[in-house]
Amino acid sequence: MSPSPKPTVVLVHGAFADASSYEQVIPRLIARGLDVVAPAVPNRSLIGDAAYIASIVRQIPGPVVLVGHSYGGAVITVAGTEDNVNALVYLAGYALEKGESLGELQGRFPDSDLAAALVYTPFPIEGSTETGTDVSVRPDKFPAIFAADVAHRLAEVLAVSQRPLAAQAFADAAPAAAWKTKPSWGLVASSDHTINPDVERYGYQRAGMTTVEVDSSHLVMLSHPERVVELIEEAVRATSA
């Protein structure tokens, strides 16, 4: 019996970030012979963002390991129901239950330091007279809250180049929970000041995931890339035998 083909690793970034947040992880995965895709998430709504990522996954020939950081965890929870997704990997992320929103999951736990540092800005919605609301992090607060163990100069760049998340994403209820049918791994960033680590632990434990804890800020992919790659490789090996 011939071995299964190596999966493509799809890296889904979170809120207040873009695909460059995986810059330390991508070359390490490529060096290990894995194909990698790191799409730009629209960050407009959970339903829309998950549909976009699912459309990318469907166009990949062969199996996929879907990795989600932060809000990207909520996205892969929905998009991960695609038939060719073999495994899910959550990095300091939200593992929602079907019918649950980000706001509902977060609301069960004390706020992190992020809550007091958010900025709300109206933006025009194409084809509508109504406006949406963008949510971002105060740049002066971003390094300490988001990237405390990342080089400060880099954290400052990330702060001013952050991609906002539309408020709608907090309200959308997840129409599916892929972890119910797909093997899943979760990394808790135990020094996270963006998401309360207990939110991460709760979601992972509820899903029955294989879970590890790393003493890291929210941006674990930049501060502990080797540990992140090890976890992704574990998911690849376990689902490619």
Judge whether residue 177 has pLDDT over 70: yes
59-90: per-residue pLDDT in tens? 999 999 999 999 999 999 999 999 999 999 99
- Per-residue pLDDT, averaged over 138-153, amounts to 97
CA distances from 150 to 24, 48, 102, 228, 229 (A): 12, 31, 26, 15, 17
Average pLDDT, the chain: 96
The residue whose two tokens read 């549909």 is 51
pLDDT at 176: 98
Tell me how many degrees the CA angle 226-197-192 measures, rounded to the nearest 5. Answer: 60
> Cα–chain-centroid distance for residue 152?
22
pLDDT band for 47, please (50, 70, 90 cuts).
very high
Tokens standing for 184? 């899943």
pLDDT at 2: 47
Judge whether residue 1 has pLDDT over 80: no
- Per-residue pLDDT, averaged over 198-214, amounts to 98
Q: Number of helices (H) and strands (E) in the chain: give both, helices first.
A: 10, 9
Instruction: State how far the Cα of 146 lies from the Cα of 217, in Å rounded to an integer.
Output: 6
What is the reported pTM? Answer: 0.97
Instruction: State how far the Cα of 202 lies from the Cα of 204, in Å rounded to an integer.
Output: 6
Judge whether residue 12 has pLDDT over 80: yes
Judge whether residue 3 has pLDDT over 70: no
Judge whether residue 241 has pLDDT over 80: no
Domains annotated for the chain, with CATH where assigned, are 8-239 (3.40.50.1820)
pLDDT at 97: 98
- Per-residue pLDDT, averaged over 105-110, amounts to 96
